[in-house]
Structure 1
Amino acid sequence: MRPRTTGPRALAALALLPAGLLAAGCGIQSTDVIAVGGPASAQAVPPDAESGGTVLFFAGPDGLMPVLRSVRSGPQLSLLFAGPTKAEAAAGIRTELPPSRGAAKMSLARGMVTVALDQDVAGLTPLAQQQIACTVLQSVAPGTDLKVTITGTDDHSSLSPLACPAG
């Protein structure tokens, strides 16, 4: 009988065997998820908004976004419905509000701010509703638990109670 010889394929397989074993058992063990706290948070409204300027809420790349305008006073809802400036739009800021067809009126009673719009409100998207609620609450009573009701010209349509998720 003649002794068996190892062919080139067998030699290649044997040469790769240690590399395969090394890669498969590199010594890293799996671990469980370790909870270390809640998600990171940041102050949504710039601190200098309190010293001067008007905060409006628009739609940004990641949802609702506060925008500080240098206007010290004025009709916040008129500014909101006018939409972002050209510079703000170039930065990716937009609005979900339709163009305003008339003046908006605000009133405060029993812990509720009522915003009466001179247009239909049933078709406002949730983000458009948040734009109004957050802008109004920031101008009237920032940091409170007040809620907002939005009424319009459509029959028996009101959006209530709305809070500001960013505040």
Structure 2
Amino acid sequence: MRSGAAKRSLLALLAALLVALVSSCGVRAQDAAEAAPTGAPPAAEMGRPDQSSGPRLTVFFVRGADLAPVDRRIGASSPAAALAQVVDGPTRSEAADGIRTALAPEVVGVEAVGPDGTATVAVSRGFAGITGGNQLLAVAQIVWTLTALPTVEDVQFTVEGIPVEVPTDAGLSSGPVDRGDFRSVAPAESTAAPPTTSPPPGATSSSTEGSPAPR
């Protein structure tokens, strides 16, 4: 009987020592599951692939009632790629900075660029439904963006292959239009006159030879 009691006492002592040993290691169960870091870089903005190494292009959106230029890197220096940037609209950070687009998703795409530099842009019939001054701004966004390319001089808008009238500063036009037709909404920096400088006092005619005559 005594030997059985002794064994039970020994087992109880060993169990107590084991509990004390585990507790001293500082290991405890977590209250909730925790995601393990993967080391992967943050995901790119949805719908906008990384094109940081592509050609640079100025894309025009809207700030207030005027065009607003924004630098972009595009996959290829082509009218189609440039137009896609306009259709995609501003990024979230640009929108937070007050930049918007007047363009509704009614643009089909660039059909062709002729040898005379006229880019033909196909739009749906709903394009004419853009209301108020937004329609002029929408057309101006496309025209100013595409004419930033060296191969494009002006833009012709068509619906199902037929030229369509678009608003300009001078009224409706069914022919090719260029930047000069949208000066009323031009970015502020593009309408500012270049600064002029005067020759320093006492300068002689020889020191200013070759300088442009004052206007």
- TM-score, normalized by the shorter chain, greater than 0.5: yes
Q: TM-score, normalised by structure 1?
A: 0.56
Match of 2:66 in 1: 63
For 1:51-130, list aligned pairs within 5 A: 52-71=55-74, 73=76, 75-100=81-106, 102-118=108-124, 120-124=126-130, 125-130=135-140
Structure 1 range deviating more: 56-65 or 80-89: 56-65
Segment of structure 1 superposing worse, 63-72 or 153-162: 153-162
**Cα pair 1:152 1:158 within 8 Å, conserved:** no
Match of 1:18 in 2: none
> CA shift at 1:111, angstroms?
4.6
SS in 1 for 2:86: helix
What's the C-alpha RMSD, in Å, of the aligned pairs? 2.9
- Please give the secondary structure, in 1, of the residue aligned with 2:176: strand
Distance 1:105 1:113 in 2: 8
TM-superposed CA distance for 1:155, in Å, is 6.7
Displaced runs of 4 or more, over 6 A: none
Partner of 1:29: none
Aligned length: 114
Q: Following the alignment from structure 1 to structure 2, what is the Cα–Cα distance between the partners of residues 60 and 161?
A: 25
Is contact 2:90-2:99 (8 Å) kept?
A: yes
Asked which structure has the greater CA Rg, the reply is 2
What one-letter code is carried by the residue in structure 1 that aligns with 2:69?
Answer: P
Higher relative contact order (CA 8 A, sep 6+): 1
Question: 2: distance between equivalents of 1:154 and 1:116?
Answer: 7
Give 1:150's aligned amino acid: F
* 2:20 aligned residue: none
Measured at CA, do residues 103 and 110 of structure 1 come closer, stay the same or move farther in structure 2, by a change above 3 Å?
closer
Distance 2:75 2:163 in 1: 35
Q: Which secondary structure state, in structure 2, belongs to the residue aligned with residue 162 of structure 1?
A: coil
Residue number among 123, 144, 147 corresponding to 1:134 in the alignment: 144
Aligned residue number for residue 178 of structure 2: 163
Question: TM-score scaled to structure 2, two decimals?
Answer: 0.45
Deviates more, 1:72-81 or 1:59-68: 72-81
Q: Flag structure 1 segments of 5+ consecutive residues without an equivalent.
A: 1-50
